[in-house]
Amino acid sequence: MPTPARTRIAPSPTGEYHIGHLRTCLYDYALARQTGGQFVIRIEDTDRKRFVEGAAQRILDVIHDYGINWDEGPDIGGPHAPYVQSERLDTYQPIIQQLIDSGHAYYCFCTEERLTQMRTVQKASKQLPRYDRHCLSLSPEEIKQNIAKNIPYVVRMKVPDNETVEFNDLIRGPIKFNTSEIDDQVLIKSNGIPTYHFAVVVDDYLMKITHIFRGEEWITSTPKQILLYRFLGWDVPLFAHLTVLLDPGGHKKMSKRNGSVSARAFLEDGYLPDAMLNFLMLLGWNPGTNKEIFSIDEFVKEFSLDHLHKKSPVFDRKKLDYFNGLYIRKLNDEKLFEYFKKFLPNAKDEQIKILVPVLKERIVKFSDLKDTLKFLFEDVVYDKELLLKKGTTVEIARNMLLESKKVLADFTDIQDKLFKLIADNGWDKGEFFMVFRVAICGTVFTPPVVDCLPALGQENTFRKFDIALNLLK
């Protein structure tokens, strides 16, 4: 039996939860469940400048809406509460004092003006901007006097000179850094709030986190944190730095320019949670087989750290649409009715009952319903030439619509009557249905328009015919 893993996600409430973070969450969840461990959520809200009111609850809500549950967190508590960093400030003080007393951290009283000037000089000299340790040589008496005078200060980590920090990334293997590349980072800010790098180490240790999944952009931060573990005599957790998600072109990090990036936005756009999770599973992991469709339980069973990717995957929205379509077609009509109702708030129940069996095999995402079925709720403005797109003459187009009104005076067996009408008049089927579709929907690309007519109703159907006939005068 594997050793139970304790994994965590630690989102910052600075905005909406990114879809890439949801993938990380999924992997954390899978490893914890597979090993009989625990999955923890902790809110890291010490960045008060970027803090967004209500964002923390929205993050918890959207993760829950995707069907992922946690064992410990700010909403349900747990043995290592509190699970919100701003509520843990007293926890960090004795530990920062321990680092100061052991010589691994020191007070820095430099003003922002001095630091800015220092960086300007370094950049001009083409040096790597970093703190020059101006305050490292202060005597205990000077430090005591500065504190007594209420001179603002931060606490910095004293990084050892010219040492190698190495760790074995679970995805990328051994990674080495020389401490000459690492700045004496700030651990406690002038307002007494811990920085991310310090707080995350303390919290992960105290919460007994064993495995940390995070994006590859955090690789350069890992040696800083490993040094803190070392200074404090704590065991270092295992790190797995995941690849970033790339835009469809495969060259740039996924961004808003190519569509939604927040986990909530995909749900609002009509993607099913299970389809989205299935898609995300395969963006950075593979089962070692050709199998693509996984329930969350199947994924937990199959998940393997050995099959996590080293190469960044492309966020292929066409592939996502494919998955979503598959999952939509797995839904029964009762569940589909709920989604249609949500995304077509103006539709009557009777209309939805007609539309569900007509469209269930064609839907890619539920938000498409609004545009696809726009003709049911409003008259679409279009140009007369659209009615004549197949080269139909005005006279023939008018005749097609007038004769259609006659045969549909009895609004039953619509398709059979229209096919008979076409045959009796010797019309081209494609030409007839082009005129018919445009007249009803105002566009050449439509759902199965004949099957949708019962939802439109005879009166509205005839009104749309009349609009088209007026255009053809």
Confidence at residue 251, expressed as pLDDT on a 0 to 100 scale: 80
Confidence at residue 179, expressed as pLDDT on a 0 to 100 scale: 95
Confidence at residue 255, expressed as pLDDT on a 0 to 100 scale: 76
Main-chain dihedrals φ then ψ at residue 210, nearest 5 degrees? -100, -30
Choice among 49, 176, 256, 318 that is catalytic: 256
Confidence at residue 250, expressed as pLDDT on a 0 to 100 scale: 79
Q: Could you tell me which residue, 262 or 251, shows the higher pLDDT? A: 262
Band of pLDDT at residue 254, cut at 50, 70 and 90: confident
Q: Is the pLDDT of residue 256 over 70?
A: no
Confidence at residue 359, expressed as pLDDT on a 0 to 100 scale: 96
Band of pLDDT at residue 248, cut at 50, 70 and 90: confident
Confidence at residue 260, expressed as pLDDT on a 0 to 100 scale: 75
Is 256 an annotated catalytic residue?
Answer: yes
- pLDDT digits 0-9 by tens, 327-342: 999 999 999 999 999 9
Q: Is the pLDDT of residue 70 over 70?
A: yes
* pLDDT over 70, % of the chain: 99
Q: Are 7 and 32 in contact (CB under 8 A)?
A: yes
Q: Are 272 and 326 in contact (CB under 8 A)?
A: no
Please name which of 44, 39, 43 lies closest in space to residue 69, comparing C-alpha atoms: 39
Confidence at residue 301, expressed as pLDDT on a 0 to 100 scale: 97
Confidence at residue 48, expressed as pLDDT on a 0 to 100 scale: 82
Q: How many residues does the chain have?
A: 473
Please name which of 224, 205, 262, 215 lies closest in space to residue 242, comparing C-alpha atoms: 215
Query: How much is the average pLDDT of 434-447?
Result: 94
Q: In the chain, what are the domains? A: 88-242 (3.40.50.620), 332-362 (no CATH), 384-471 (1.10.10.350)
Confidence at residue 221, expressed as pLDDT on a 0 to 100 scale: 95
Query: How much is the average pLDDT of 387-395?
Result: 94
* pLDDT over 90, % of the chain: 93
- pLDDT digits 0-9 by tens, 265-306: 999 999 999 999 999 999 999 999 999 999 999 999 999 999
Confidence at residue 26, expressed as pLDDT on a 0 to 100 scale: 98
Q: Is the pLDDT of residue 189 over 70?
A: yes
**Residue 473 to residue 463: CA distance in whole angstroms:** 16
**Predicted structure pTM score:** 0.92
Q: Could you tell me which residue, 39 or 1, shows the higher pLDDT? A: 39
Q: Is the pLDDT of residue 187 over 70?
A: yes
Confidence at residue 46, expressed as pLDDT on a 0 to 100 scale: 87
Cα 112 to its chain centre, rounded Å, is 36
Cα–Cα distance list, 441 to 210, 418, 453, 458, 460 (Å): 58, 17, 11, 14, 11
Query: How much is the average pLDDT of 458-467?
Result: 96
Q: What does the mean pLDDT of the chain come to?
A: 95
Band of pLDDT at residue 249, cut at 50, 70 and 90: confident
Q: Could you tell me which residue, 255 or 18, shows the higher pLDDT? A: 18
